[in-house]
């Protein structure tokens, strides 16, 4: 086989694998893990049942494939914001704005199914834990920079705070799937405000004392900041 044919074969293989993983995502979003079978996935992906098994030995391998696929919905956007332009304070504002947006029902369904199933699947638990470690690392990096810039009090453990903030943000996303009117931005600000220096209180817009408090979003509907696009929102 020539190099050109080998490359073309590899590209087609990667595309087929990606199509199967996308089909797995769709099936979990529509039916949950209880409705996930290799035959259903093959039908959704437009491939044979045998082709599905060629790339994924069983249902567990299909689920593990979705863990990597899901990364572009939550971890990669966070890392882009953390590594993006601006001061640490500006990047924190962008992260909070992004986290305050409501997640789509499809994303929440898949996320909750994966976390729940990891209780009974050690391989999935390990992979999911690794993804969460990467998620937390983004926040840790940002808070270490915030402390170095004088925004956080000197006695604050920036690494522990980064992990705590990552955990808070993730939990709020889950809770807002149950209660969309929950003011995630206000809650995140209330959590961080006591840990800021006077300089930090002035610079971090979303965490000023006059910022919105939890529960201030209009009942039964999203608050105005939810409808803005990531990075474009401004804080009260």
* CATH class, range 70-227: mainly alpha
Lowest mean pLDDT among 91-95, 203-207, 222-226: 222-226
pLDDT at position 67 over 60: yes
Give tens-digit pLDDT for 142-197.
Answer: 999 999 999 999 999 999 999 999 999 999 988 888 888 889 888 998 999 999 99
Q: Tokens 């966070």 map to which residue?
A: 78
Domain boundaries, the chain: 1-57, 70-227
CATH topology of domain 1-57: Arc Repressor Mutant, subunit A (1.10.10)
Calpha distance 122→93 (Å, rounded): 36
User: Phi, psi (5° rounding) for residue 152?
Assistant: -100, 150
For 217, other C-beta atoms within 10 Å of its C-beta total 23
Confidence band (pLDDT; 50, 70, 90) for 123? very high
Confidence band (pLDDT; 50, 70, 90) for 1? low
Q: What angle do CA 201, 203, 208 make, to 5 degrees?
A: 40
Q: Whole-prediction pTM value?
A: 0.79
């Amino acid at each position: 086989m020539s190099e050109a044919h080998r490359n073309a074969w590899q590209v087609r293989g990667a595309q087929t694998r990606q199509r199967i993983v996308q089909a797995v995502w769709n099936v979990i979003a529509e039916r949950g893990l209880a409705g996930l079978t290799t035959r259903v996935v093959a039908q959704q992906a437009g491939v044979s049942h045998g082709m599905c098994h060629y790339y994924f030995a069983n249902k567990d391998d299909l689920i593990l494939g979705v863990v990597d696929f899901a990364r572009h919905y939550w971890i990669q956007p966070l890392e882009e914001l953390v590594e993006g332009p601006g001061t640490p304070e500006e990047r924190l504002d962008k992260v909070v704005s992004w986290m305050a947006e409501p997640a789509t029902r499809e994303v929440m369904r898949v996320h909750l199914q994966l976390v729940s199933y990891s209780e009974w699947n050690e391989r999935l638990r390990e992979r999911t834990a690794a993804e969460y470690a990467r998620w937390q690392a983004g926040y840790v990096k940002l808070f270490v920079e915030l402390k170095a810039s004088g925004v956080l009090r000197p006695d604050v453990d920036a690494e522990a705070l980064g992990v705590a903030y990552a955990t808070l943000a993730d939990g709020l996303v889950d809770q807002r799937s149950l209660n969309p009117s929950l003011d995630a931005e206000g809650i995140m600000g209330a959590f961080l405000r006591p840990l800021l220096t006077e300089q930090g209180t002035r610079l971090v817009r979303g965490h000023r004392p006059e910022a919105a408090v939890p529960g201030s979003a209009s009942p039964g509907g999203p608050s105005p900041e939810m409808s803005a696009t990531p990075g474009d929102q401004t804080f009260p």
